[in-house]
Amino acid sequence: MDFDPFLFLNLWDDISKVGSAIMQPLYWAVSGLIVLAHRLWSPLFGTDSGVTWALSIVVLTIIVRGLMMPLYAKQLNSSRAMQSLQPKIQALQQKYGSDRERLGQETMKLYKDEGVSPTSSCLPMLIQLPIFWGLYRVLYGAAQGQARGTFFVNNPDLVESLRHARLFGAQLSGTFLPMSDGFGATQILALIMIIMMTGLLFFQQLHMMRRNMPPTAFEGPMGQQQKMMLYMMPAMYIFIGPQIPIGVLVYWIISNLWTFVQQYVIIRNYPTPNTPAYVEWEERMVAKGKDPKEIERARANKARKGGNGKGQVATREVKGKDSGEQPTVSRQQVNRQTVRRSVDGKQVIQRQQVQHSSRAARKKKK
């Protein structure tokens, strides 16, 4: 079958139309928020002021990132639940390391028994991608005089106002490259913002690596990749930043600043185990009279199904046969073992599921 370029172009055009139709609700929401913010700031700085439009973009970014906070909370809880399972996952890897199929089956069974979904930590990121893309397309289109979103389409004067607005003498729709009118205020402001954006991303990653990553993360090939990413990701901004309008750079800087502050708060209060931040967090919890291990268990259980469902331990007191004390019986639905051990002088029986023997086995015992 011969390749038909016209058929390929028509197919690509159809796919583009479908993608544009899917993004229309996001364009509508983004354009509505930025127009609303513009109306709030206009009485103070003027309708066509670059300060008005810059503050409108800042408000838009804060609202969108604020609405995403539940996604970050869900991602954080899922990561906590996955971290609590690492010892059990490592035990399965040692037991079934040579049998990849069995290892996969047992791992998925462990996730099911514990009520943890390994994809939960990835889902928030996947949801954020179209939102960020919608933000970028609306701001970029408006900066280029192309209306995207119902509120900009119905208000072409606002699109022109944003396109020609100036901030500190620089045009919000202008870029560092190409320098059609030479090196001026637009290039100076764009260069400053590119440096700020690159620096924020670099220090954000550096803070993450030094404070919230265990020493083992920097060992071997994966560790070298981590160190390379510290410089490669900010370098991408240096290459793509000169072609990005200043209006979009405002959004990226505020978004990166939000991420940095959010990361600082999370690392301080929800650090990863075996990291410098975690050691300091443990010391703070102990100083406050709290048990860090108990807090970690509660956080891990929070991400599991039902909150009080599988993986949590319910205890009740029963009278022992050989002693006058009442042993503690703990029940879980994690495995099929019955374990007896002594804790603080008390008999502890951990029963999880009853193992039923076959009729033939019972006859054989008799």
pLDDT tens-place string over residues 133-142:
887 788 788 8
Same domain, 272 and 336: no
Is 290 inside any structural domain?
Answer: no
pLDDT > 50? residue 346: no
Is 344 inside any structural domain?
Answer: yes
For the ranges 109-118, 138-147, 338-347, which has the lowest average pLDDT?
338-347
* Exposure class string for 212-249: b at 16+ Cβ within 10 A, else e: bbeeeeeeeeeeeebeeeeeeebeebeeebbebbbbbb
> Residue 178: is the preceding peptide bond cis (ω within 30°)?
yes
Distance, in Å, from the CA atom of 280 to the CA atom of 364, rounded to the nearest integer, reads: 59
Domain interval for residue 363: 314-366
Same domain, 237 and 360: no
Is 186 inside any structural domain?
Answer: yes
Same domain, 26 and 124: yes
pLDDT tens digits for 263-321? 899 889 988 888 899 899 999 999 999 998 888 888 777 666 544 444 443 333 334 44
- Per-residue pLDDT, averaged over 197-211, amounts to 90
Angle at 327 between CA 321 and CA 330, to 5 degrees: 125
pLDDT of residue 80: 64
Kindly report whether the global pTM for this prediction surpasses the value 0.85.
no
Same domain, 268 and 344: no
Taking alpha carbons only, the member of 218, 209, 208, 223 closest to residue 259 is: 208
At 362, the amino acid letter reads: R
Count of structural domains, the chain? 2
Same domain, 353 and 265: no
- Per-residue pLDDT, averaged over 83-88, amounts to 71
Distance, in Å, from the CA atom of 43 to the CA atom of 46, rounded to the nearest integer, reads: 6
Main-chain phi, psi angles of 333, to 5 degrees: -120, 60
Same domain, 115 and 182: yes
Same domain, 270 and 323: no
